[in-house]
Amino acid sequence: MNVPEESDRRIIIPDENGDEHLFEVLFTFDVDATGKSYMVLVPEGSNESEDEEIEVHAFEYKEPEGEDLALIPINTDEEWDMVEELLNTFTEEEME
């Protein structure tokens, strides 16, 4: 699990209407067995209130050399299970 440096922690993602939204990268991780990389994000500023539930987003991502970052939606239950397991580990480590 890789936690990005402070300067690499923010990413802008446009929605289906073209509106841009700022997200904070919680962590990224690679799965050697599949050769895929994943990124887990939260909306910028959502860590500020501990009382409300935080909406977490996860994507497979590719960053070909010389090209823009590509985010790919996760579609399989197996991938979601893996992301949830790592998110639980990340959350436990953050609370210690």
In tens, the pLDDT along 16-41 reads: 898 999 999 988 999 888 889 999 99
Name the token pair of 20. Answer: 């841009």
Alpha helix (H) ranges present in 21-70?
none
CA 49 from centroid of its chain's CA atoms: 19
Task: Give the separation between CA 74 and CA 54, rounded to whole angstroms.
Answer: 19
The mean of the pLDDT values for the chain is: 83
Output the six-digit token pair for 83: 């992301």
Q: Tell me what pLDDT residue 87 has.
A: 85
Would the pLDDT of 49 be above 60?
A: no
pLDDT band at residue 74 under the 50/70/90 scheme: very high
% of residues, the chain, pLDDT over 70: 81
Helix (H, G, I), strand (E, B) or coil at 85: helix
